[in-house]
Amino acid sequence: MDNRKNFYFSRLSSAEKTACTAIAEALHRLEDELTLSPAGLTDDSWQRMFDTIRIDHPEIFYADLSACRITIGWNSAEVKFAYKYSRQDILMLKKRLSALTSRIMAKISSDSMEVRQRRLHDYLAKSVSYNYEDMSSPESHTIIGPLIHKKAVCDGYAMAYKYLCDKAGITCMTVYGDACDKGVYSSHAWNMVKISKNKCVHVDVTWDSNFCRDTGIVYTFFNKSDDVFSFDHKWDKSMFPPCVTDGNDAIIACVNEKEFRKAVSSSLKNGITEIRAFLGWDIGTDSDLSDFLATKILSLKEAEDYRVTSSYDRLNKKLLLVFVKQ
């Protein structure tokens, strides 16, 4: 098993890496138990290794890692594995995933890495819906939800994107942090992708899939820098590599409506259709926002061929506008 490109694995100690690899390989073989040396492992090591397997190996969706039992002796540690499905069901699901993955990879096999990365984003953004009806469904948090049932929540989207990137030879990691919706931050998951030797970018398929669902595919949260993502996402920046892009994103600060309208007009003239703004005044309620966009923004000459989707954080007076050609 090649773990060299797996981000969380790279953060383990040498002893943890050896044990983690052995555990992952045993789970791939659907073994019931494993005996290994506990040398160099601490009480915290087991949780780190299980977290690493869960995040770095979305293909091991069937392991119930929280239910595994560990017995540590003087010279050995015995791990008894637990599974979410029967062996027959695991093999059936793996077969369905293999067939689906083969079809997806066949469609992108002749593409460059850059195009592959975008097309995998597009596939999930188009084919998967957010599982608002049952957000606690365990499968919505693994690759089974998005890839088999076409329903997922944020970590399901992120797991599926990493899984497909892994299959396509693209270095990808899953990020756990927080994201802001209408001024309230809550737990969220997305991805970082290594697009060149020294360059990483953020990708949030969940938000791209749901932000402008009625306007087709958007790239509002695709291949973005730390600066752009910091507008509405939080994560431990000391833990992850920096993300820098050559993107043409607008992040502005405006003290009043007149200044904001001027900035939007200038951005659209320059072909910038995604605008993130820190405002010096409160637009008001959702109804006030709709009126503001209709009378102050879409009335601009530069906006006449566009429709606009918005997200307003009233508490922090932050506004995201995405303009899409009609």
Beta bridge partners of 180: 185
Q: For residues 204 and 19, what is the distance between their CA atoms, to the nearest angstrom?
A: 32
* Percentage, residues of the chain above pLDDT 90: 87
Q: Which residues, 6+ apart, have CB-to-CB distance to 53 below 8 Å?
A: 20, 23, 24, 27, 60, 63, 65
Q: How many CB atoms lie within 10 A of CB 72?
A: 13
How confident is the model over 49-89, as pLDDT tens digits?
999 999 999 999 999 999 999 999 889 999 999 999 999 99
Q: How many residues comprise the chain?
A: 326
Residue 1 has pLDDT above 70, yes or no: no
Judging by beta carbons within 10 Å of its beta carbon (0-12, 13-18, 19+), is residue 13 exposed, middle or buried? middle
Supply the pLDDT for residue 218.
85
Edge-first strand order for the sheet with 274-279 is 250-254, 274-279, 318-325, 306-313
Task: Work out the end-to-end distance of the chain between its first and last CA atoms, rounded to an integer number of angstroms.
Answer: 49
Query: Lowest-pLDDT range, 82-86, 103-107, 144-148, 306-310?
Result: 306-310
Q: Does residue 143 contact residue 159 with C-beta atoms inside 8 Å?
A: yes
Supply the pLDDT for residue 217.
83
Q: Does domain 250-325 have CATH number 3.40.390?
A: no
Judging by beta carbons within 10 Å of its beta carbon (0-12, 13-18, 19+), is residue 247 exposed, middle or buried? middle
Q: Is 166 helix (H, G, I), strand (E, B) or coil?
A: helix
Q: How many CB atoms lie within 10 A of CB 9?
A: 21
- Taking residues 32-46, what's their average pLDDT? 95
Q: Given the structure tokens 């293999």, which residue do they identify? A: 98
Q: Which residues, 6+ apart, have CB-to-CB distance to 15 below 8 Å?
A: 39, 40, 41, 45
3-state secondary structure 142-164: CCHHHHHHCEECHHHHHHHHHHH
Choosing among 3.40.50.10240, 3.40.1550.10, 1.10.357.140, 3.10.620.30, the CATH entry for 87-234 is 3.10.620.30
Reported confidence tier of residue 215, pLDDT bands at 50, 70, 90 = low
**pTM, to two decimals:** 0.93
Q: Is 9 helix (H, G, I), strand (E, B) or coil?
A: helix
Beta bridge partners of 204: none
Residue 250 has pLDDT above 90, yes or no: no
Supply the pLDDT for residue 58.
98
Judging by beta carbons within 10 Å of its beta carbon (0-12, 13-18, 19+), is residue 137 exposed, middle or buried? middle
Nearest CA-CA partner of 250 in 214, 283, 224: 224
Q: Where are the domains of the chain?
A: 7-80, 87-234, 250-325
Query: What letter represents residue 121's amino acid?
Result: H
Q: For residues 81 and 30, what is the distance between their CA atoms, to the nearest angstrom?
A: 9
**What is the phi-psi region of residue 172: left when phi exceeds 0, alpha when psi lies from -120 to 50, beta otherwise?**
beta
